Structure 1
Amino acid sequence: MDMRNHDLKEDIREYWSKRSQTFDLAFGHRIPPGPELDAWAAAMRDALGARPLKVLELACGTGEVTNVLLSLGHEVTALDFSEAMLAVARRKHAGNDRVRFILADAERTMEPDETYDAVVCRHLVWTLTEPEQAFAEWFRLLKPGGRLLVFDGDWSKPTPLGRLASIAVAALEQIIGHDPHYDGAMSERHATIMERLPFGDGLTVERLLPLIEEAGFENIELPSRRPIAAAQRRNADLRNRLRTFFYRRFFLVCSRPSG
């Protein structure tokens, strides 16, 4: 491991490990059965096709995206940097022989070359300490023609509509009380990590595309993420419906060349 990033990586590991037991209680992390699970499954089916694939899921956390991939029939290797997160995911998927959980660094996985048909990650890229290294690693892991799916967003600042929504949430919480499980529960620790990350000042598609292209990926697409946000709002209370407007999120799909 590059020792320049050692302390930061350990801070990241500790932060997410502390959140592992309550992570699924925070809105936007759990993918419940019903409209939201269906929307995630549709997005992945459209990007990956209907045929079962060998998929590497990076930063699997408590195994929610893992569940989506398994529901589509894929064979999944789910990787995370936090043993505490993996413990929750392993319990959730105990007995399922189509998933393998491993403790590893998403930027240096130690997995063999050209092993996977697809690499999938949700809310990982903004935490990368060495983005160029990570994208080169994911390119290496994919078979020729394999696909990379990135679900992420700019968590550094709300959109103009998001600022209005955050004001509305703050006013609402004066009446109904604070949500102890939302990301802001560890906001000071979260902020000290973000300010040290390459994308801590904002992860945008415009910043990401040149790095993806430099790593060798092609056929870059940006499918709409609106169906997922709409599905999240279907069964959410007012506070959580407002939260879906806070930040600019995106879904990026690209592939390793076939030849």
Structure 2
Amino acid sequence: MSQASNYNLRDEIKEYWSMRAATFDEQPGHEIFSDAERSAWHALFERHFGVADGRKALDLASGTGVISHLMHDLGFAVTGMDWSEAMLEKARAKSRLRGSNIRFLLGDAEHTLEEDDSYDVIVTRHLVWTLVDPAAAFAEWFRVLKPGGKLLVVDGDFVSPTWATKLNKAMSGFLESIGLRKPTEPVAHMQTHRDILARVHFSEGARANDVSAMLVRTGFDPVVVDFDLRQIHAAQKKHISFGKGLERGAQHRYAICAQKPVAGY
């Protein structure tokens, strides 16, 4: 079998995010740009996970380690996992600079190879909407969580156009057509992103009710949807354009906390 025929969608996704690693931390919504946003993330995690107390946390698709370090701040014993070595290089560099003891592993979030019942909490940010096989991924996360452990999915529908998306697209197209604005992302990147998105499971957008229903079918109970991300978004808006702020505010964004039941309950 030729090399080309072995190159599948997961390989494309891995290559795409490796390509994005160099500039990943330059974008609000990826890196943290203020103490206000850092505090808002901490509050979200404490709301759903409670006091860290040295418990074991797994940050899946950890990228450059942003969420891993937020969890480490709170006192979790953190493992970050990503399948892009380019992302992990940046994450490890941050860890050395900050003197943190976060363990960063090269691995696939859909097939972690971690032991059964090995983590107290799992967190993912903007991962679920890119999954090729979310049902298998959720079953894997259920497996590695300890009984009573919690999963927090921070995600959204970044596909379905909102009124703000349509307005921004129209304005950007007009400004680019008259030479007053350049594309914010290389055309090749945008095309690759669209090509990948068309083939993932949530190609029409990862809605909270669909993700929650799939988590329930996996065996998680209870499953709670939290739409109160206002503090995080308010902090991020201060570092993006007015138009992008409107777009972000109009999107369907959420956090879902799902618990693995304790045996016998």
Length-normalised TM-score, structure 1: 0.90
What is the identity percentage for the equivalent residue pairs of Structure 1 and Structure 2?
A: 38
Shift of 1:195: 0.7
Listed as ranges, the matches of 1:212-231 within 5 Å are 212-223=215-226, 224-231=228-235
**Does residue 28 of structure 2 align to residue 45 of structure 1?**
no
Larger radius of gyration: 2
Shift of 1:97: 4.9
Q: Any unmatched runs of 5+ in structure 1?
A: none
What is the rounded CA distance, in whole Å, between the counterparts of 1:92 and 1:240 in structure 2? 28
1:25 aligned partner? 26
Q: What is the letter of the counterpart of residue 57 of structure 1?
A: D
What is the rounded CA distance, in whole Å, between the counterparts of 1:59 and 1:106 in structure 2? 6
1:244 aligned partner? 248
Shift of 1:200: 1.2
Using a 3 Å threshold, how does the CA distance of structure 1 residues 241 and 189 change in structure 2: closer, same or farther? same
Using a 3 Å threshold, how does the CA distance of structure 1 residues 234 and 98 change in structure 2: closer, same or farther? same
2:37 aligned partner? 36
What is the rounded CA distance, in whole Å, between the counterparts of 1:249 and 1:13 in structure 2? 24
Describe the superposition over 1:179-228 as per-residue Cα deviations: whole angstroms up to 9, x where unpaired: 6459x771100010011111112110121122101110012112212221
Q: What is the letter of the counterpart of residue 257 of structure 1?
A: P
- Higher mean alpha-carbon deviation, 229-238 vs 18-27, is at 229-238
Shift of 1:7: 0.7
Match of 1:127 among 127, 130, 135: 130
Using a 3 Å threshold, how does the CA distance of structure 1 residues 243 and 179 change in structure 2: closer, same or farther? farther
Listed as ranges, the matches of 1:156-235 within 5 Å are 156-168=159-171, 177-178=181-182, 180=184, 186-223=189-226, 224-235=228-239
Shift of 1:257: 0.4
What is the rounded CA distance, in whole Å, between the counterparts of 2:85 and 2:103 in structure 1? 14
Using a 3 Å threshold, how does the CA distance of structure 1 residues 73 and 176 change in structure 2: closer, same or farther? farther
Q: Structure 1 segments of 4 or more deviating over 6 A?
A: 172-176
Calculate the aligned-residue CA RMSD, in Å: 2.3
Listed as ranges, the matches of 1:91-110 within 5 Å are 91-94=93-96, 96-110=99-113
Describe the superposition over 1:63-119 as per-residue Cα deviations: whole angstroms up to 9, x where unpaired: 111121111111100000101100010001116453100000000100000000000
SS at match of 2:249: coil
Number of residues of Structure 1 aligned to a counterpart in Structure 2: 255
**Counterpart contact for 2:152–2:256, Cα < 8 Å:** yes
What is the rounded CA distance, in whole Å, between the counterparts of 1:202 and 1:165 in structure 2? 19
SS at match of 2:96: coil
Using a 3 Å threshold, how does the CA distance of structure 1 residues 67 and 166 change in structure 2: closer, same or farther? farther
Length-normalised TM-score, structure 2: 0.88
Q: Any unmatched runs of 5+ in structure 2?
A: none
Using a 3 Å threshold, how does the CA distance of structure 1 residues 175 and 34 change in structure 2: closer, same or farther? farther
